[in-house]
Amino acid sequence: MGHTWQAIAARHDVRLLPANASWPPEAEQRRVADEFVAECDVLFGMLHPAVLDARQRAGRRVPYVILALGTMPRGAFGMRPYVSSLTRSDTLIVSSQADFAICEAFFPNARIELVPLPVDTGTFSQVSRAERAAARAQLGLDPGARVVIYAGRITPEKNLHTALRAFRMVLDNVPAACLILVGGIVASPFREFGVSPTRFATSIGLAASRLGLPQDRVLIAGDVSHSDLRTCFAAADVGINLTLHHDENFGLSQAEAMACGVPVVGTAWGGLKETILDGETGYRVSAVVSHLGVKANWWEAANRVIDLLRDAEAAERLGAGGIRRVASEFSPDRVGERLEEVVDTAVRGGGGALDDPIQVSKFASEVWTECDPDRDPRPPFRRSERALRLYRRLIGPYGGLSTLGVPTETPLEDGHVLTLAAPVIAEEDGGLRVDDPLYPLRFEIPPGLASAILRLLEQFRHRPSMTFGQVLMATGTGAGEVAEVVRWALDFGLLLRSTALDGWTHRVVAPAVIQPLFRYHDVSGEATDFIVTT
């Protein structure tokens, strides 16, 4: 947001909305907002109710260029009270194709513009060999270490537990590998998932320990300044981010890494699909929207990181591609030019019936009714089959397959690699729970498939990733029966499917990679007033 503001301020006379436009008394709010709107030719920023009301009282068309930021994949509930005040003279700015698709599905006649976030290229820029050596020395890293970096907030929805699983496989295959975690630990509840971590910093440390990751191979740098973040990027060989955050509308940290020449392996998720170009600036990893929630393919991620750690030439080529991409698409100058185009179009009107109200689609109305967090504190995928279908349609544009991912409708082949998406825990009542803090769902296996599914899961507990041909050999049952069970597991979200590159199927995938990492206690959001940890 800060650099977006700077890009606008560099080209326009900017007035900032005074803070007391949001403070009581109400008469003072109205006066401040009325004076502010009277001075403006264009309103720019996040939706502000006092500004909308003042514009209505002013009785003149002052276009509002609205930064949607992360509201769309959350269901746009923050916009719901104000949509009736918006018209086609207003513009919604999104920073990814995924957000654009959700906007179109919600507001079919709205003016929507795609503008990326700007990268601070004054801070984040190509790193010299001397800077790289100095950075490693400063961080206490061995000169021969192969360094993987995660940068961003450390929260459950960033899916860091899956990145740790992938790194366990990386370490088993590249013994000189080490992982740097950069970012502040945030343990606040995440309402969209219905998850409230109670001791997240401890949980991440225990997860690393349960995976068998030595303490000297996982460096937690914490929250750092921009200059120190550049130092961390300077020391790195590869970046990794397996985020499934619903607010991942761009992926700024990944773009900052790319600006420093670090190739990034990240989920094909939300804005990361804009920042990471597969095979040009890094590699995307399949992020599959399933009945059991969204799952990132940790096996694909681990293999991509291994390849880049072993092939310095390929890593350098992709790193150079990242530098070029940031310079051409995400620099402050380029983003400023794009914002100028949007603002200029808003001032000129851009054609069309400017006073026509923004339409709200039937789909948006259904989401706002069925998935309303104020009516039911449970996340949509826990409420009902209808709410789950709406949620999957809402978040669907955020997910995607990598170039290695295999579409659901593709027939099974012996060479397809099947990967257990997450550990599955048997519960006392016979149900199963997925060990995934983002989607810790309980489920029942269809009775007709129960014994076959349990046998299949037992195979994957010992060998978390296998080709379909290896599964056929391991089960010792008929190919038709195994194919039926595997297809159900793929459709449901228990298994993920990929194609493999040369040598990938011979790499070490230890059973520890897919062991359970966390403990869960179900509580009712309506009945629980406090969560007390003792």
Tell whether 171 and 314 lie within a shared domain. Answer: yes
Per the structure, the count of domains in the chain is 2
DSSP for 321-343, please give it. Answer: HHHHHIIIIISHHHHHHHHHHHH
Percentage of the chain beyond pLDDT 90 is 74
Report how far residue 517's alpha carbon sits from residue 165's, in angstroms, rounded to the nearest whole number.
10
Rg (CA), the chain: 24
Does residue 27 lie within any of the structural domains? Answer: yes
Residue 433 lies in a domain: no
Mean pLDDT lowest for which of 157-166, 275-284, 405-414, 520-529? 520-529
Confidence of residue 527 (pLDDT cuts 50, 70, 90): low
pLDDT band at 533 (very low <50, low <70, confident <90, very high): low
Task: Indicate whether 525 belongs to any domain.
Answer: no
| 149 and 245 belong to one structural domain | yes
Q: Tokens for 355? A: 């006073």
88 and 55, same domain (yes or no):
yes
For residue 53, give the nearest of 82, 11, 80 by alpha carbon.
82
222 inside domain? yes
**Is 221 found in the same domain as 167?**
yes
> Domain range spanning residue 266?
129-325
In terms of domains, do 141 and 174 share one? yes
Report helix, strand or coil for 426: strand
Backbone angles phi, psi at 58, to 5 degrees: -65, -30
| 296 and 192 together in one domain | yes
Domain assignment of residue 189, yes or no: yes
The reply to whether 236 falls in a domain is yes
Is the pLDDT at 241 greater than 60? The verdict is yes
Cis peptide before 63 (omega within 30 of 0): no
Q: In this predicted model, what pLDDT tens digit does every residue of 292-340 receive, in sequence order?
A: 999 999 999 999 999 999 999 999 999 999 999 999 999 999 999 999 9
Answer yes or no: do 107 and 85 share one domain.
yes
141 and 239 together in one domain: yes
Taking only the tens place, the pLDDT of each residue in 101-112 is 999 999 999 999
177 & 289 share domain: yes
CATH number, domain with residue 275 = 3.40.50.2000
pLDDT, tens digit, for every residue of 340-372? 999 989 888 755 556 789 999 999 999 999 999
Q: Which residue has the tokens 């029942």?
A: 444
Alpha helices in 312-446 (DSSP H): 312-325, 332-348, 362-370, 385-395
Query: Whole-angstrom distance between the N-terminal and C-terminal Cα of the chain?
Result: 39
For residue 424, tell me if it sits in a domain: no
pTM of the full predicted structure? 0.94
Asked if residue 146 and residue 89 are part of one domain, the reply reads no
With 0-12 / 13-18 / 19 or more C-beta atoms within 10 angstroms meaning exposed / middle / buried, residue 30 is: middle
| C-alpha closest to that of 148 among 171, 131, 130, 132 | 171
Regarding whether 200 and 84 lie in a shared domain, the answer is: no
DSSP assignment, residue 405? B
Average pLDDT over residues 221-239: 96
Q: How far is CA 398 from CA 59, 347, 530, in A?
A: 38, 31, 33
* Statement to judge: residues 344 and 310 lie in one domain: no
With respect to residue 513, please indicate whether it lies within any of the assigned structural domains.
no
